[in-house]
Structure 1
Amino acid sequence: MAQQPWSQRFEGSLHPAIALFNASIGFDIALIEYDITGSQAHAQMLAHTGIIAPQEAEAIVRGLEQIRQEHRNGTFQPGVEAEDVHFAVERRLTELIGDTGKKLHTGRSRNDQVGTDIRLYLRDRIDRIQAHLRQFQSVLVNLAETHVETLIPGYTHLQRAQPLSLAHHLLAYVEMAQRDWERLRDVRRRVNLSPLGCGALAGTTFPIDRHYSAELLGFEGLYANSLDGVSDRDFAIEFMAAASLIAVHLSRLSEEVILWASEEFRFVTLKDTCATGSSIMPQKKNPDVPELVRGKAGRVFGHLQGLLVMMKGLPLAYNKDLQEDKEAIFDGVNTVTACLQAMTILFEEGLEFRPARLNSAVAEDFSNATDVADYLAAKGVPFREAYNIVGTVVKVCLSQGKLLKDLTLDEWQAIHPQFAADIYEAIAPRQVVAARNSYGGTGFEQVRQALERTRSLLSQDS
């Protein structure tokens, strides 16, 4: 195995199996572009402060850019002998420009280098995930605009509760996604702090300018304590917590789609672009996309738990345990991104709501019972008394195999004299929905106002 930069301290060679166990190049190669960008800024800072000559910094920056291109065209593929992406890049740089390449690591440790790379990576990925959230929201809003007056049963305890505007139901997930977007914005602020220049744990004796390199890399601030700078992974845990909530929301929506697509509900039809069949049952169309999203949520939660457990017992400062953060972050990013993309496609082109079935569904139950109580309360009957009266009404209907709409006016008035002919309009599903016109409610007027607010919100970048 090739000699490592740290190996002069040792007399023997690392056992091949331990070398493989120790290496992270198999996964941290994903950081190569960010490692190169961070190293270029570090070299420029070294020249800015006079630690290396300007021409040396120029040679380093050019060499690093060549490595970037080699990586992009597939000719730079370091193996296990490189140990990690940072050594791999430094070794290749020295091959390209000679001993000047060995000056790159002046005033820097692999500890602050790793911390810088992972923050640059995560900052970029947060921006991308926020963009995917906006696309997902836009698709739901577009769908909601076509279904303002489509009714859907609303549930509590998975029991029919009250009818809703389908648009109102969809906009609930837009609101969840907005909180997700805002959480990522907040996390990004704490991701966007530079640890570069913190050294191994105590800073450096060289007259570096951490503010200069941070500005070059677009960081909004610096870690004020070198120990904290190289050992902090709060930002990674915060990101994974935010990613977990995204997964929660997508999984909840997935569960609803799975129910809606079942023969028992028949609220949606899955299109062939987003469904598969059975290997032995030709009649089946399976909701693979929402099922996979529901399943993958557990992976994201696991990464959050893994990061928390990894960090809980680490003394200051850097420990090799922190190598385990990368695979969790990488997979968390990739999983949430893939789930967002898949659900966006599903709602844009992979399913179709069935308005006739939905509208008939809200007429098949007692979800308008609360409106009977409200009807009586509006006529001066105390609500709790009205509530009990409606319980009696429902009991009568059940005993006769009727719905509320099937009762005659005589039957209504036999239960309470305040019932009049206008009770039928009050309990019509469309009126039941329209009447709920309080702010944030499902009334059609409120839903249209919510759509306007949401459209305005999505047009903003922050």
Structure 2
Amino acid sequence: MKKLWQGRFNEESSELLEEFNASINFDKNLYEEDIKGSIAHAKMLGKCNIISEHESKEIINGLKQILFEIENDRFIFKTEDEDIHMSVEKRLSQIIGKEIGGKLHTARSRNDQVALDFRLFVLKQNKEIANLILSLVSTLKDIAKENLDTLMPGYTHLQHAQPVSLAYHLMAYAFMFIRDYERLVSSYERNNLCPLGSAALAGTPHPINRELTALELGFSKPTFNAMDSVSDRDFALEFLFNISVLFTHTSRLCEELILWSSQEYGFITISDQFSTGSSIMPQKKNPDVAELIRGKTGRVYGNLISLLTIMKSLPMAYNKDMQEDKEGVLDSTKTTKDSLIILTQMLKTTKFNKDNMINACKKGHLTATDLADYLVREKGINFREAHYITGRCVALAESKNLDLSELSLDELKTIHSDFDKNVIDILNLVNSKEARKSYGGTSNRSVEKQILIIENFLKDKLS
């Protein structure tokens, strides 16, 4: 069967070439964007009198029929058609005839066509993933509101450091994910430009109206340089980078959920709905969802590195290497959507074991910094000396198998005679959390402000 481009050739393509060259198996996922772009192009051709209005309408009606066929599983994708663009154009000529169907490709190339389809797809997925992030942020916020008074250890170096609330801890992740959302929004705005009309690399002599197609397709404006337009994949690279940073954050959260669900921590109980068992150990309840999301982080990182490597040495303008740009994006898109949906649902059904969290705060001397600050603030001792005295108090508590907060005033006085009865309140875990009233701190009032910031953010974005 002859190709639509075969006029230059005297021999038919090898079957090996057809299989190796074809992208239809994956770029058929862009059928909606391809048909949408072709409809906009046909409208523009008609309005600019490059083809007649009648021909424009015939083409558009034929394209709508193809869309219906694909969406209702009546369209047959064939390897010999190479890609989604040729497949649709070939079917269009079958429906409305070659004479009119062949006019659709006037003033465009597959180069600007694929650049358009891919950009439309990435921008659409950008929005959908951004909305899923908002849902995750909202879930974290809701859990935080219910746990302002749930004490837990804050960690540095995975060692007990200072007492915080579960609400405060989860707010840290909420603000991470807000940055992920904002990166996607920024990327969308920067890349919302229409490459259609750039043709192969140099534009077209036909009197087209690129502003018209850009408006029709929902872009802010056309791209500025035809050569850049067909060879640019920055929008896909940004998308994959944004996904990679997002997975850095989901992986960190999942790592903590995995630790917290262990017997050693016991901070959470993940719902049976989102846990799995062992084939040999009947007692096991494994946090596989969190582990899979943590593992899929490597997968999306790999897709980013792959596209960076593909693009790094390409001369202008389009090169066939760029056919390798889509599979990684398609994979990362599905991976991200699936992961965000299941992570959000898992968090909604997770039980937080407050008593275990509070008991954990009684280990590791979480109020040691408060004691040192007390000596500086109320006793006029320089911080280095206060640090030493507090260290001696910690050593005393260790020798008695107690937490620092459990030492009596008499016991503290054996280390330093200046301690008074106020020190007992200083060493109280709740008081320690509430003492940090600085902007962004752990006190309930500070955390409530953080929650309000997120509520206002969500209200603005979801309205």
Normalised TM-score (structure 1): 0.98
Partner of 2:93: 94
2:365–2:405 contact (8 Å) kept in structure 1: no
2:140–2:170 contact (8 Å) kept in structure 1: yes
Partner of 1:224: 224
Distance 1:405 1:234 in 2: 55
Q: CA deviation at 1:312?
A: 0.5
- 1:172 equivalent in alignment to 2:172: yes
Q: CA deviation at 1:216?
A: 0.4
Code of the aligned partner of 1:272: D
Q: CA deviation at 1:385?
A: 1.5
Q: CA deviation at 1:191?
A: 2.5
Partner of 2:271: 271
Distance 1:113 1:227 in 2: 13
Partner of 2:68: 69
Partner of 1:157: 157
2:109–2:200 contact (8 Å) kept in structure 1: yes
Partner of 1:357: 356
The superposition leaves residues 111-161 of structure 1 with CA deviations (integer Å, 9 ceiling, x where unpaired) of 000000011111111111111011111111111110011011111111111
2:112–2:230 contact (8 Å) kept in structure 1: yes
The superposition leaves residues 336-391 of structure 1 with CA deviations (integer Å, 9 ceiling, x where unpaired) of 11111111011012x11001111111012211111110111111222222111111
Partner of 1:37: 36
Q: How does 1:246-257 map to 2 (within 5 A)?
A: 246-257=246-257
* Count of equivalent residues: 460
Distance 2:159 2:330 in 1: 40
Q: CA deviation at 1:401?
A: 2.2
Distance 2:427 2:330 in 1: 53
1:122–1:191 contact (8 Å) kept in structure 2: no
Distance 2:300 2:44 in 1: 38
Partner of 1:234: 234
Q: CA deviation at 1:174?
A: 0.6
2:122–2:235 contact (8 Å) kept in structure 1: no
Partner of 1:78: 77
The superposition leaves residues 405-454 of structure 1 with CA deviations (integer Å, 9 ceiling, x where unpaired) of 33231221222232111211111111111111110011111011111111
Partner of 1:57: 56
Cα RMSD over matched residues? 1.0
Code of the aligned partner of 2:216: L
Distance 2:144 2:393 in 1: 35
Q: CA deviation at 1:399?
A: 2.5
The superposition leaves residues 283-340 of structure 1 with CA deviations (integer Å, 9 ceiling, x where unpaired) of 0000010000000011100011011110010000000011111101111111111111
Distance 2:436 2:406 in 1: 23
Secondary structure at the residue paired with 2:163? Answer: strand
Q: How does 1:1-12 map to 2 (within 5 A)?
A: 2-12=1-11
Code of the aligned partner of 2:357: L
Code of the aligned partner of 2:397: C
Q: How does 1:321-400 map to 2 (within 5 A)?
A: 321-349=321-349, 351-379=350-378, 380-400=380-400
2:130–2:184 contact (8 Å) kept in structure 1: yes
Distance 1:405 1:446 in 2: 24
The superposition leaves residues 8-39 of structure 1 with CA deviations (integer Å, 9 ceiling, x where unpaired) of 21111211112101000000000000000000
Normalised TM-score (structure 2): 0.98
Q: CA deviation at 1:75?
A: 0.3
Distance 1:361 1:395 in 2: 19
2:42–2:59 contact (8 Å) kept in structure 1: yes
Distance 2:428 2:189 in 1: 50
Percentage of identical aligned residues: 45
